[in-house]
């Protein structure tokens, strides 16, 4: 365990909860139940991972339907009333429900069954859609992001033999990896059937293997493609080089204006959220990120503040001639994809305007610039309080055997803000089974099976606690 994790579990009102002796019996029984169920859950997770349910354009959409149908059959087999939800242009989602017993709250369990493209197959130790166990981890695309979330929800249903002590609405969507474009339509069409008192959104992760973690904030995102043009065709670099610039040089100088000399983003007057209480030592983050020796940190503030509470700008890709194919010519046109993460409290519409305006106004030497605006996602800060939130922290501590901690997340999860807007009175719990070695979106994605079992147990204990105590 990292030494920097020294936070104490906060006190909260226990009067409405079960006596300690009874809670202990429930915890012990549920632990045994989840442990006995886990081999079957792992086998079902392997079945899910075997389906290449990539939602990105250019991949076979039939696999998304196969994936949704398997998810639906798993929850139907666990005893829930299950059906596919359809919206034109979107992959199918799954809704599995159980009515709330008298006096019990209703809980929405969210995950997604679509996955990222596999990337470079040569970099995978084992094929991405052939789940393989090595060193206590299950490898395969989607093993962590986010089919492990489906396994967590399935465990909680099976642990109660399909009759949980709370109402359940299990919602598994199929396009999160492409921005949940149609989620608003799903919520508009089926929102009455999705409303809940508590929402468990199992698409985050743990700050470290073995450390239960609740995510409390998410940065937002805007991105665009900037094109720079200086010539209407390529010309000989020796004959014309000197009086006129090539597009690549212009693009490099333009991209360099996105940061100041400290590496702080220099686009507009971006919002900065309050700094997190947890400040992880820089050497730990450098190790987790694989930063090479001698590479300096950029920006201002603490390391976690820079990752979770401040904006950042990255150049994700450049379209230009490959080095192996270069010739002695002035390149007439070059493009780059630019991504800007924005802090909670910022507005993605204003951020997009500022990013596009900056690129359009800072090109040197009169080069022509075209900015094509891309995706946008709102930042979000969870209301980290209330009985259900504290119940989640307590059961996570029970399942893992150490206090749960809270962290921000530098990435963006667009659906969180939409669900919060649709159900403003619900308590949102953003959790997951992954850790920094999960490598979601990268090659050799995996999930640590020991942590997945604990995540399954914590969700099961949560439903028991919410049902017995009537916590909302």
Q: Where in the chain is the domain with CATH 3.40.630.10?
A: 20-218+379-469
Predicted confidence at residue 471, as pLDDT, reads 65
Contact (Cβ atoms closer than 8 angstroms) between residue 458 and residue 417: no
The string of pLDDT tens digits covering residues 261-312 is: 999 999 999 999 998 888 889 998 998 888 999 999 999 999 999 999 999 9
Contact (Cβ atoms closer than 8 angstroms) between residue 418 and residue 184: yes
Query: Among residues of the chain, what percentage have pLDDT more than 90?
Result: 84
User: Whole-angstrom Cα distance, residue 142 to residue 117?
Assistant: 10
Q: Where in the chain is the domain with CATH 3.30.70.360?
A: 220-273+310-377
Predicted confidence at residue 20, as pLDDT, reads 53
User: Whole-angstrom Cα distance, residue 472 to residue 426?
Assistant: 8
Which CATH number fits the domain 20-218+379-469, given the four candidates 3.30.70.141, 1.10.150.20, 3.40.630.10, 1.10.1740.10?
3.40.630.10
- CATH class, range 220-273+310-377: alpha beta
Predicted confidence at residue 275, as pLDDT, reads 86
Predicted confidence at residue 24, as pLDDT, reads 56
Place of tokens 């209301």: 383
> Rg of the chain over CA atoms, in angstroms?
24
Q: For residue 107, give the nearest of 190, 177, 170 by alpha carbon.
A: 170
User: Whole-angstrom Cα distance, residue 291 to residue 285?
Assistant: 9
Predicted confidence at residue 23, as pLDDT, reads 53
Active site residue 418: no
Predicted confidence at residue 265, as pLDDT, reads 97
What stretches in the chain show pLDDT beneath 50?
Answer: 1-19, 22
The string of pLDDT tens digits covering residues 395-429 is: 999 999 999 999 998 988 888 988 999 999 999 99
Count of all residues that appear for the chain in the document: 472
The string of pLDDT tens digits covering residues 164-190 is: 999 999 999 999 999 898 999 999 999
- Of the residues 27, 175, 176, 445, which is catalytic? 176
pTM score, two decimals?
A: 0.86
Q: What is the DSSP string of 85-127?
A: E--TTS--EEEEEEPPPTT--EEEEEEE--B-----GGG-SS-
**Around 310, how many Cα atoms within 13 Å sit in the side-chain half-sphere?**
18
Contact (Cβ atoms closer than 8 angstroms) between residue 186 and residue 91: no
In this structure, the number of other CB atoms found within 10 A of the CB of residue 372 comes to 12
Q: How far is CA 7 from CA 208, 309, 326, 390, in A?
A: 15, 20, 55, 15
Predicted confidence at residue 8, as pLDDT, reads 31
Q: 438, exposed or middle or buried, with CB in 10 Å at 0-12, 13-18, 19+?
A: buried
Q: For residue 426, give the nearest of 211, 148, 201 by alpha carbon.
A: 201
Active site residue 21: no
Residue 172 in 3-state DSSP?
strand
* DSSP structure class, residue 211: B
Contact (Cβ atoms closer than 8 angstroms) between residue 259 and residue 298: yes
- Count of helices and strands (H, E) across the chain: 12, 18
User: Whole-angstrom Cα distance, residue 110 to residue 200?
Assistant: 6
- Of the residues 114, 394, 406, 453, which is catalytic? 114
Contact (Cβ atoms closer than 8 angstroms) between residue 243 and residue 365: no
């Amino acid at each position: 365990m990292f030494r920097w994790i020294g936070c104490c579990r906060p006190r909260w009102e226990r009067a409405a909860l079960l006596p300690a002796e009874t809670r202990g019996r429930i915890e012990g029984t549920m632990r045994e139940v989840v442990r006995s169920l886990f081999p079957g859950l792992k086998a079902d997770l392997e079945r899910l991972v075997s389906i290449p349910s990539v939602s990105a354009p250019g991949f076979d959409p039939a696999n998304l339907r196969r994936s949704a149908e398997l998810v639906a059959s798993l929850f139907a087999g666990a005893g829930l009333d299950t059906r596919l939800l359809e919206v034109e242009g979107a992959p199918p989602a799954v809704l599995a429900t159980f009515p709330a017993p008298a006096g019990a709250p209703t809980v929405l369990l969210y995950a997604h069954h679509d996955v990222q493209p596999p990337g470079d197959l040569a970099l995978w130790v084992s094929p991405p859609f052939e789940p393989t166990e090595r060193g206590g981890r299950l490898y395969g695309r989607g093993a962590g992001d986010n089919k492990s979330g489906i396994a967590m929800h399935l465990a909680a249903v099976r642990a109660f033999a399909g009759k949980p002590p709370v109402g359940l609405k299990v919602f598994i969507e199929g396009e999160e990896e492409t921005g949940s474009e149609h989620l608003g339509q799903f919520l508009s069409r089926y929102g009455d059937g999705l409303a809940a008192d508590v929402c468990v959104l199992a698409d985050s992760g743990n700050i470290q293997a073995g450390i239960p973690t609740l995510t409390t904030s998410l940065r937002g995102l805007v991105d665009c493609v900037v094109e720079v043009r200086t010539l209407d065709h390529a010309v000989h670099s020796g004959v014309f080089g000197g009086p006129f610039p090539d597009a690549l040089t212009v693009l490099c100088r333009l991209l360099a204006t996105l940061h100041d000399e400290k590496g702080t983003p220099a686009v507009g007057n971006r919002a900065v959220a309050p700094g997190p209480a947890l400040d992880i030592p820089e050497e730990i983050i450098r190790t987790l990120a694989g930063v090479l020796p001698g590479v300096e940190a950029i920006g201002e503030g603490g390391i976690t503040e820079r990752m979770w509470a401040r904006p950042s700008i990255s150049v994700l890709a450049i379209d230009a001639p490959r080095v192996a194919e270069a010739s002695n010519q002035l390149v007439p046109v070059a493009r780059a994809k630019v991504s800007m993460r924005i802090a909670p409290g910022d507005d993605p519409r204003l951020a997009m305007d500022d990013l596009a305006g900056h690129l359009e106004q800072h090109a040197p030497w009169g080069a022509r610039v075209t900015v094509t605006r891309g995706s946008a996602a709102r930042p979000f800060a969870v209301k980290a309080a209330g009985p259900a939130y504290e119940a989640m922290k307590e059961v996570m501590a029970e399942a893992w055997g150490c206090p749960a901690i809270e962290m921000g997340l530098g990435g963006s999860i667009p659906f969180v803000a939409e669900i919060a807007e649709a159900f403003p009175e619900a308590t949102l719990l953003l959790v997951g089974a992954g850790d920094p070695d999960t490598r979601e979106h990268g090659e050799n994605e995996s999930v640590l099976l020991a942590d997945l079992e604990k995540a399954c147990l914590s969700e099961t204990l949560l439903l028991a606690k919410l049902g017995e105590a009537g916590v909302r």
